[in-house]
Amino acid sequence: MVSTDVFTTLFWRSLLGGLSVLAVQALVIKRHDLHSLRRLTWPELWMSLAGSGAMVCFIAAFFYLPVADVVFIYSAFPTLTLLLSALLLRTAVYRIDLLCTLTVVCGMGLIVWGQTSLHNLVGAALSLMATLLFALITIGIKRFPQAEMVKVTYVGAFIAALAMAPFSSFGSSSAHDLAWLWLYGFLNVGVGFGLYLLGVRRIKAVLASLVCMIEIPLAPLWVYVFFGETVSRQSLIGGSVIVLAVLVNVAWPGGHRNASTA
C-alpha cells in the first residue's frame, strides 16, 4: 500500500503510531498527572528498548522474506517464552521442553536452508531476533507487573523512530503513504501491540504467546488473497514442524506446570 523504503516506513509507522498512543493516553489521564507521561522506571526503559527493537526487526523482516516465513519463525514465540521463563523466572524445565525446543530449531533450519540468498537470510535473522525480543518483553511484564505498558508502547515507538531517522528518505513520503502509515502505526502500535501488553498481565505468559499464534495461519492467508504471495513447500514443512512442536509443548502436562508460574 506504500512506496516508502524500509527505514522510512519504520520511521513514520513508529512516530505516527507513538504520537497516536501518547495523545490518547494524555486525553484519558488527569491534567495534574501529565508530567507522569515522561517519567520512566528502569523496567519500563528496558522494555521500551526491547519493544523498539522487536518492532523494527519484525517489520523489517517482511522487506527481506515472504510473510509466511516470517510468521513461521515467529511461531517459536511460546517455546522461547517458556525457556526464558525457566532462565529468568526460575520455572522448571522438563524433557518435553528440551525436545520441543530441538524440534523448533529443526523447523527453523528447514526454513533457513530453503533460502537461496543472503537477502532472505537477513530476513530470517531479523524474524528470530524479533521473536526473542517479544519473548523477553512478555517475561518482563510478568516480572515487573507495576510497569505501565501504555508508556512502554509509545516510548518504544519513539525510540524506534529516532533510530530510523538518520536512514530515512523524507522527501519520498507522499500524503498517500503518510495516511496509510499513520493508520498502520495507530492500529498496530497502539491498538494491537498496546492491547497485547495490557492483556499479557492478566493471563499466563505462555498462554499469551499461544494466543498470538492465531497470526500464523491468518498472515499467509491474507497475503495470498490480497497479493498472491505463495508459500514454498520447504517453508511450509518447516513451519508445520515448528507449529506442531509448540502445540505439543503447550498441551503436554509438563508444559502446563511450567506455565503455571510464568
Single-letter code of the amino acid located at 10: L
Phi and psi at 51, nearest 5°, equal: -65, -40
Q: Which pLDDT score is estimated for 231? A: 80
Q: Which pLDDT score is estimated for 256? A: 47
Query: 248 and 117 in contact (C-beta within 8 Å)?
Result: no
Task: Count each helix (H run) and each strand (E run) in the chain, helices first.
Answer: 13, 0
Q: Which pLDDT score is estimated for 262? A: 41
Q: Which pLDDT score is estimated for 261? A: 40
Between CA 149 and CA 104 the distance in angstroms is: 30
DSSP, collapsed to helix, strand or coil, labels residue 158 as helix
| Alpha-carbon dihedral 124, 126, 129, 134, rounded to 10 degrees | -110
Q: Which pLDDT score is estimated for 253? A: 66
Residue closest to 201 by CA, chosen among 152, 256, 145: 145
- Give the DSSP H/E element, type plus range, for residue 253: helix 253-259
pLDDT digits (tens, 9 = 90+) for 186-217: 887 777 766 776 777 777 766 766 677 777 77
Q: Which pLDDT score is estimated for 32? A: 59
Q: Given 3-state DSSP classes, what are the helix, strand and coil percentages for the chain, each rounded to the nearest 5?
A: 80, 0, 20
**Residue 162 in grid coordinates:** 529516532
**Residue 108 in grid coordinates:** 527453523
Q: Which pLDDT score is estimated for 52? A: 94
For the chain of 262 residues, list the mean pLDDT of each consecutive stretch of 10.
90 89 77 73 92 93 88 81 80 77 82 76 91 90 84 91 93 87 81 72 69 76 84 82 79 54 40
Residue 192: count other Cβ atoms within 10 Å of its Cβ: 15
Query: 59 and 192 in contact (C-beta within 8 Å)?
Result: no
Q: What are the CA-CA distances from residue 51 to residues 18, 88, 138, 177 (Å)?
A: 12, 18, 10, 24
Q: Which residues contact 193 (CB under 8 A, 6 or more apart)?
A: 51, 55, 153
Question: Domain limits of the chain?
Answer: 6-259
**Residue 247 in grid coordinates:** 502445540
